[in-house]
Amino acid sequence: MLSKWSPVFNPSTYKSKTHRDSGATVMHTDGSKTDEGTGSAYCILENYGIIDNNHGKPLSYLKYEIRSTALSIWQDNWDNGETGRSTHDIVLRVSNKPVGWNREELIFVRGHGPFPSYLHRFNLRTHDNCSCGEEGDPMHYATKCRFTLSWHSQTPTVSLKLQWLKNILTNNLSGTRLRLLIRFLCDENNLIVEDNH
């Protein structure tokens, strides 16, 4: 029985609203409102013609259509977004499956963590320099900083930086070194940050 999906097969039960972002009509069965910039499953169903084209189709087919349409929208947002560019360079395709990175690898790739360059962006530090005087970003600590010599990797050329990062994330020995580096930075932050604003 398709009682859960009956609104899909009976469009007269929908309450129609106009979405303010795109002017698209958002269909709701319960009269609730959709926040700007987000869509509901019914919004996707209607805007991409899945409701109109799939009357009488099996539920599994509708689920497939919704999933593929949602992934397509997600991929478009991922490709054209302004945030997450460092991660986008490594993970080009969106997926429902996790990437498999641990906490330390995520901190390094995204640059969100105990790095002065990150903390300075949010005015949590007065400057973005490491205690050694150079910019305190993840690459600095992984390749140049004198306080993290034990965990250094060879500095990649600009043209090979992306490949270097991919290799670090897939090589077990390099990954272990990276995890130890990030743990050190998290535990001993007072050694690598010049001031605590």
Token digits for 48?
Answer: 């991409």
DSSP classification of residue 123? T
pLDDT digits (tens, 9 = 90+) for 110-132: 888 889 988 898 888 888 888 88
**Residue type at position 156:** P
Average pLDDT, the chain: 77
Residue 72 has pLDDT above 80, yes or no: yes
What percent of the chain has a predicted confidence (pLDDT) above 90? Answer: 21
**Residues 25, 93: Cα–Cα separation, whole Å:** 29
Q: What is the CA radius of gyration of the chain?
A: 24
**Residues 63, 182: Cα–Cα separation, whole Å:** 41
pLDDT score for 44: 60
pLDDT score for 12: 44
**Residues 50, 180: Cα–Cα separation, whole Å:** 49
Contact criterion met (CB below 8 Å) for 54 and 65? yes
pLDDT digits (tens, 9 = 90+) for 8-61: 444 444 444 444 444 444 444 444 445 544 456 666 666 666 666 666 778 788
Q: Is 1 helix (H, G, I), strand (E, B) or coil?
A: coil
Angle at 130 between CA 125 and CA 133, to 5 degrees: 115
Exposure string over 89-112, b if 16+ CB within 10 A, otherwise e: eeeeebeeeeeebeebbebbbeee
pLDDT score for 45: 62
pLDDT digits (tens, 9 = 90+) for 90-99: 888 999 898 8
